[in-house]
Amino acid sequence: MSQAPADAERFTEFVTRTAAATEALAARLARRLANGQTLALHGELGAGKTVFARGVARGLGITEAVTSPTFTVVQEYPRPDGGWFYHLDLYRIAGARDAEAFGIEDYLFAPDGVSVVEWPERIAELLAPPPGGVARLAGRLVAVYIAAESGGVRRIRLPASWADGLETEAAAVGPAGRPDGARAPLSQPQHRVIRHHD
């Protein structure tokens, strides 16, 4: 069930016990993402990738309903700051060639948006580090691994460089510095963090 990160990057593990806690964690991470960056969400069926994507959307200030674009492959959401949030679900994509034909590269490093990809394994060749993968992706890809356990427990690994301080930060309500959409900060962290799994 758990998938080992493909590279030697250090990861920080968070443990959530509810979908709301996963969403809140993702919303915090979202505040650190800039246009041109892509989040690759790894995890089995039902792991919580769409829940995480919804949290990213919330963190980017999107209020409309976020559901998985399994049949449409991509769903585009305008953000209140003028940028875009692109939610891709590659479950039904046969492989990298299929994805390229669909125009995936326009989303992987869209200069006007943040992208989140469910089932990134479908395009593993494109996401691999150069020289095998798409060179322009280097430094723009953030890998997230979600593993489900019984009772709603999810182990969520984020690259340590992105995870620093996330557990204590107030819930994200929009891109950093946005004063609108304020929501009460969480008084208690809703997840437990286990540092630095390699």
β-pair type (11-16, 154-159) = antiparallel
Q: Identify what 45 binds: ligand ATP, Mg ion, none; CB under 5 to 8 Å per kind.
A: ligand ATP
- Tell the smallest beta-carbon distance from residue 53 to Mg ion (Å): 7
Residue closer to Mg ion (CB basis): 18 or 68: 68
**DSSP-based three-state secondary structure for 86:** strand
Residues forming contacts to ligand ATP in the complex (CB under 6 A) are 16-19, 21-22, 43, 45-51, 68, 118, 152, 154
Burial class (CB in 10 A: 0-12, 13-18, 19+), 196: exposed
Q: Identify what 19 binds: ligand ATP, Mg ion, none; CB under 5 to 8 Å per kind.
A: ligand ATP
Which two structure tokens, joined as six digits, stand for 143? 């890998």
- Tell the smallest beta-carbon distance from residue 64 to ligand ATP (Å): 17
Q: Identify what 60 binds: Mg ion, ligand ATP, none; CB under 5 to 8 Å per kind.
A: none
Angle at 60 between CA 71 and CA 74, to 5 degrees: 15
Angle at 125 between CA 43 and CA 7, to 5 degrees: 60
Taking CB positions, which residue lies at the least distance from Mg ion? Answer: 50
Residue closer to Mg ion (CB basis): 3 or 68: 68
